[in-house]
Structure 1
């Protein structure tokens, strides 16, 4: 019964965020305008800049930002207790993530679809752009490396997910071609989702596993290589061909999954066996503050979302006012996924007693995706009568497809950055899309295997560093939005207050991990962590300087009037 109270609390909060808070921010602070000509129309090239139906764009945006992170983070963070995790997910979604995502989308749209890195130059200065892009590139490296490992682990642990995961790509390619020929969206959506779920039943009957050793690599390592080859090819295709239809179908698939999970909660009404506040943590467990706020990144607030909002979504926005639907509602969807993940890993569907729950969560990092799949599949099986195998395959496919769409977008965004560097520093070879993609994928593979060894399976050691880097980037995005609002003469407290909180938590967490990596002699992560921390300080100083100069100019009557 306790689980229903958690769900009702979360839904009430999300509804307030969507109907009240997001409307206020969009109309009174960002002042979104239907008459504004978006970059999708102004720069329409049929490849990256494409005016897109807001439902389709929401599907792309939602599944790109969701990935596996709103499952992995909450499934780990529940170790400290379900109460702090639930509170951070709900309030983080309403006041942090929604404003951050919608704001990045709006600001990028107002600047011809520029990425947050390029936008930081327009708002703050040239040096900030270089520094910002370093953090963005490192974060994308971590996102792609981590999600490559997550997908590989899921495919090895759930061979029944292999057929539906790859079949989804074929379905998306076909739908992309049909949409291009003006076939109505709704029937295509229904057919696409039906085919996708049919392949889930096929996957349960036709599990596929790679040899445990092939080409001198383990099965997990080979999956990582295959996944990055796919991501490289997918990132070079026009967005209408694969990215948009795949993300839309995945978005619909997630909605079905959320309906099954939330519906099962109301049918089964499971109790919570996890502690509200865990007082039996292991001796070496780090403090809940600040680590909770970087362990749950996506699902509360995430810098990666700003990259997607300004990297791909802003280039496809049909109307500026669609930014509220795509950006804020995308964050709400992710918050709902994080919330139901917490229910799945906290209740009797995972562990029938508090003692059994503590056995599963013996230390921070235990449980994770496997706990979500186990708890969620038992919940669906009990509530809807599916076999446990089918339910587990369904959730495993959901994890794989979400992480896969994030990799698609992540590699594409890395290509943009490398090509942007080619333009900035006049390095002709880096302007080439194939070369830029090769460099991006090579860097991701080096990090995945460099952090995790030849098997690649240890790459999840990147997760804490990904969390702190991700949140630092979120604070930097909120900082750029704040400076932009100040220059426009509009209230900036709605972005400044979240920015201050997030940067304090993320920077403190980064320092803690820096000491930990140093003591363990993990020099790769020491260097990456140190770069991110130093760069974030420099960006903050640059922004503070710009705000100070702007106030002086305004006082002396020399301030610029911006539209």
Structure 2
């Protein structure tokens, strides 16, 4: 199979989705208004509420939701063959992720930038909000704890990436000052920033850095990196968004697009053959059934509940104009779909032979970031002549930077959750930024080191539940959006179809997982999964009831 054909079909479909379908959604479904005053203007404080250029905000939203997930999920799911992964990423981006991200921003902006959890209380009911908050907190806890492990391992296994990864923070700080204080031209700043990032990537292999193998202050390199990363994320989450979060995400977004253009350009030149099977009929022993596991293994890149948390947590507070929600939300999802497609191509066409590919995919869960880096570096080297070591460093840095931006935003979102709980339950001390941040970091570290021991890898313990919890969150977010649309008298079929599909597949996958936990006598994950299942069913029933009430109210109003 020609990789060029897959690339053109996938990117072409996503482009049609953005230029045609998203315009229809903006006009006929969400009915965006140029005159609506967004919360960024209404509550502008220079810290969290900051009216932002739509291109800069797109960079924040895109890189915050991307992380390593749209690389890891697709690069694992190709074990079932390239066709199922390709179809789910392409159609998921167009008809699921786009309207989910777009709709979550719109719903939050129309409700004073409230998070999807708090918004559930207004739209569905206070009981649903309380239960929904549990699922949201668990998802954020998993994302933050696990991405800390992912970045730490990338830095340990790839010392050449240390300078580019940490140097990007300095570049972002300078860019933030140049844009907001220096009022410099955005195109000029963007050009300088991207050049600086790629300069660091070029330098990286010449100055590899690694923590001592014996550890630091009695801590292993993995544990030390995790503590350093959380210390950084805590500081970053407290800084005004324009100082670090926005410029870091924006410049990383541009860096990714340059990397994607290079990777797709190399595919056009080299036209590597897709060596993986279209549908793999000989999967390794122990590989779960493709249906429903495909739809939770690939989340980011098709649809992801975490996106709704970012959209309603940080993005909605920075939206300058309501009409920008289409570009930021739908195009942000399109960018992530393009990244997921690149991961599929790298993990299926980046190997010389089927035997080479099969040697990597010996069991379910193999592949992931390393398959993307290895396959992508081979394609870049063949198509551009770029040195394989530099190509590998570029892709490693890309994965690490996106995991880092997601961790930055995730910790800030977790801080918002604690602050909202402080306001809801009249705990004034918890509603303050610093205590809420300390609680966020503390809960992640308790999971990391309490469950994972001295290595700090405890987040991996509950990670098997992330896929289903995350997709259930996406379905419940679509439910909230649908209730709002009913109350406004807007068409709902465009959110109802994806939400019914994703809820059914997510609940099916969770039941399959619970059966597996029971057979393996993993009582901890069985109990935690049961909590998630009960919470999802309860919130779904509450939302359906709210949906019926909204339809009745809409009919009465029409009369």
Instruction: Name the SS of the counterpart of 1:435 in structure 2.
Output: helix
User: What residue number does 1:119 align with?
Assistant: 119
Once the two structures are TM-superposed, the CA of residue 355 in structure 1 deviates from its matched residue by 2.0
Once the two structures are TM-superposed, the CA of residue 523 in structure 1 deviates from its matched residue by 3.9
Answer yes or no: is 1:374 the counterpart of 2:374.
yes
User: What residue number does 2:355 align with?
Assistant: 355
User: What residue number does 2:255 align with?
Assistant: 253
Instruction: Name the SS of the counterpart of 1:240 in structure 2.
Output: coil
Query: 1:444-455 counterparts in 2 under 5 A?
Result: 444-455=444-455
Answer yes or no: is 1:40 the counterpart of 2:43.
no
User: What residue number does 2:156 align with?
Assistant: 156
Q: Distance in 1 between matches of 2:162 and 2:37?
A: 43
User: What residue number does 1:130 align with?
Assistant: 130
Post-superposition Cα deviations, 1:533-560, rounded to whole Å, max 9, x if no partner, equal 11111111111222223344455x3x59
TM-score (norm 2): 0.97
Answer yes or no: is 1:390 the counterpart of 2:361.
no
User: What residue number does 2:270 align with?
Assistant: 268
Post-superposition Cα deviations, 1:428-464, rounded to whole Å, max 9, x if no partner, equal 2211211111111111122234554432347445443
User: What residue number does 1:443 align with?
Assistant: 443
Answer yes or no: is 1:30 the counterpart of 2:30.
yes
User: What residue number does 1:495 align with?
Assistant: 495
Alignment RMSD (CA, Å): 1.5
User: What residue number does 1:311 align with?
Assistant: 313
User: What residue number does 2:533 align with?
Assistant: 533
Aligned partners of 2:486 and 2:551 also within 8 Å? no
Answer yes or no: is 1:214 the counterpart of 2:234.
no
Answer yes or no: is 1:429 the counterpart of 2:416.
no
Q: Which 4+ stretches in 1 moved above 6 angstroms?
A: none
Instruction: Name the SS of the counterpart of 1:33 in structure 2.
Output: coil
Once the two structures are TM-superposed, the CA of residue 122 in structure 1 deviates from its matched residue by 1.6
Aligned partners of 1:294 and 1:464 also within 8 Å? no
Aligned partners of 2:487 and 2:554 also within 8 Å? no
Moved more, 239-248 or 218-227: 218-227
Aligned partners of 1:89 and 1:339 also within 8 Å? yes
Q: Distance in 1 between matches of 2:281 and 2:459?
A: 29
Q: Name structure 2 gaps, 5 residues minimum.
A: none
User: What residue number does 1:403 align with?
Assistant: 403
Once the two structures are TM-superposed, the CA of residue 503 in structure 1 deviates from its matched residue by 0.7
TM-score (norm 1): 0.96
Q: Distance in 2 between matches of 1:338 and 1:274?
A: 16
Post-superposition Cα deviations, 1:349-377, rounded to whole Å, max 9, x if no partner, equal 33x22122111100111111111100111
Query: 1:187-198 counterparts in 2 under 5 A?
Result: 187-198=188-199
Post-superposition Cα deviations, 1:243-272, rounded to whole Å, max 9, x if no partner, equal 000001100100110001100000000001
User: What residue number does 2:54 align with?
Assistant: 54
Q: Distance in 2 between matches of 1:510 and 1:282?
A: 22
Q: Distance in 2 between matches of 1:450 and 1:258?
A: 38
Cα 1:189–1:522 shift into 2, 3 Å: same
How many residue pairs are counted as aligned between the two chains?
Answer: 557
Q: Distance in 1 between matches of 2:558 and 2:363?
A: 55
Aligned partners of 1:75 and 1:368 also within 8 Å? yes
Moved more, 518-527 or 365-374: 518-527
User: What residue number does 2:228 align with?
Assistant: 226
Q: Distance in 2 between matches of 1:543 and 1:369?
A: 37
Aligned partners of 1:2 and 1:272 also within 8 Å? yes
Aligned partners of 2:145 and 2:458 also within 8 Å? no
Once the two structures are TM-superposed, the CA of residue 381 in structure 1 deviates from its matched residue by 1.2
Once the two structures are TM-superposed, the CA of residue 526 in structure 1 deviates from its matched residue by 2.8
Q: Name structure 1 gaps, 5 residues minimum.
A: none
Q: Distance in 1 between matches of 2:502 and 2:450?
A: 29
User: What residue number does 2:245 align with?
Assistant: 243
Instruction: Name the SS of the counterpart of 1:298 in structure 2.
Output: coil
Aligned partners of 1:153 and 1:457 also within 8 Å? no
User: What residue number does 2:335 align with?
Assistant: 333
Once the two structures are TM-superposed, the CA of residue 57 in structure 1 deviates from its matched residue by 0.3
Instruction: Name the SS of the counterpart of 2:454 in structure 1.
Output: coil
User: What residue number does 2:200 align with?
Assistant: 199
Q: Distance in 2 between matches of 1:4 and 1:552?
A: 51
Aligned partners of 1:146 and 1:462 also within 8 Å? no
Aligned partners of 2:486 and 2:554 also within 8 Å? no
Query: 1:148-187 counterparts in 2 under 5 A?
Result: 148-181=148-181, 182-187=183-188
Q: Distance in 2 between matches of 1:381 and 1:458?
A: 37
User: What residue number does 2:516 align with?
Assistant: 516
Instruction: Name the SS of the counterpart of 1:501 in structure 2.
Output: helix
Answer yes or no: is 1:486 the counterpart of 2:486.
yes
